[in-house]
Amino acid sequence: MNQQDSLQAKLPTPWGDFVIHALETDDGKEHIAMTFGEWDKEQAVLARIHSECLTGDALFSLRCDCGFQLRAALEKIAEEGSGVLLYLRQEGRGIGLTNKIRAYSLQDQGMDTVQANEHLGFGADERDFKVASDALDILGVSKIRLMTNNPRKVSSMKDAGIDVVERVPLKFGQNPHNAMYLSTKQSKLGHLF
């Protein structure tokens, strides 16, 4: 992964003025980091590792809790005065947008999110969080307070050498449209609510 100094800019948001950083992996995927404030190398930085969800983040879908968590994380980082949000291009748990919509169609027919992904020939979760540890290293972050309900993210960061000193829960966006989705995340993927 690489970051060029020229690939960052101010990004004003409803929660405050962030800095957006363009990050590119060796396979050509473009990810972003949004940073707020400053920190030193020894500080445990509040961080969110967020996988792209076009439907939830940009189109306000109620099928998931992604958009709600994204907005809550940005707000918490701004309130804290410093932090990092990594936005990873891993749509649909890593299966891509078109396959995610195929999975939605299967869910409309009664499958849960894991069953739909597996029916399409994918694993329950195809995401790779190694890119997140690389991005944090580029940003000078070695210790984090990770905003997540996903214990896999915690263990992935620890396995990659990032010191996760605290898991900060994100309980936002529960509604009747995503009840089965959240139940599946808890029962089949081990998410902590």
118 Cα distance to chain centroid: 21
Annotated binding-site residue? 49: yes
Annotated binding-site residue? 91: yes
The one catalytic residue in 125, 128, 152, 167 is 125
Q: In angstroms, what CA-CA distances link 144 with 41, 87, 121, 170, 188?
A: 11, 16, 34, 15, 26
Q: Which long-range contacts (CB under 8 A, 24 or more apart) does 106-112 make?
A: 107/63, 107/180, 107/181, 112/180, 112/181, 112/183, 112/184, 112/188
Annotated binding-site residue? 63: no
Annotated binding-site residue? 52: yes
Annotated binding-site residue? 148: yes
Distance CA 73, CA 153 (A): 15
Annotated binding-site residue? 153: yes
Q: How does DSSP classify residue 140? A: T
Distance CA 137, CA 153 (A): 16
Task: Enter the tokens of residue 188.
Answer: 């089949």
The one catalytic residue in 127, 137, 163, 167 is 127
Annotated binding-site residue? 51: yes
Q: Is 137 a catalytic residue?
A: no
Binding positions are 48-53, 64, 66, 69, 91-93, 113, 148, 153
Binding positions for Zn(2+) are 53, 64, 66
Binding positions for GTP are 48-52, 69, 91-93, 113, 148, 153
Give the catalytic positions in this structure: 125, 127
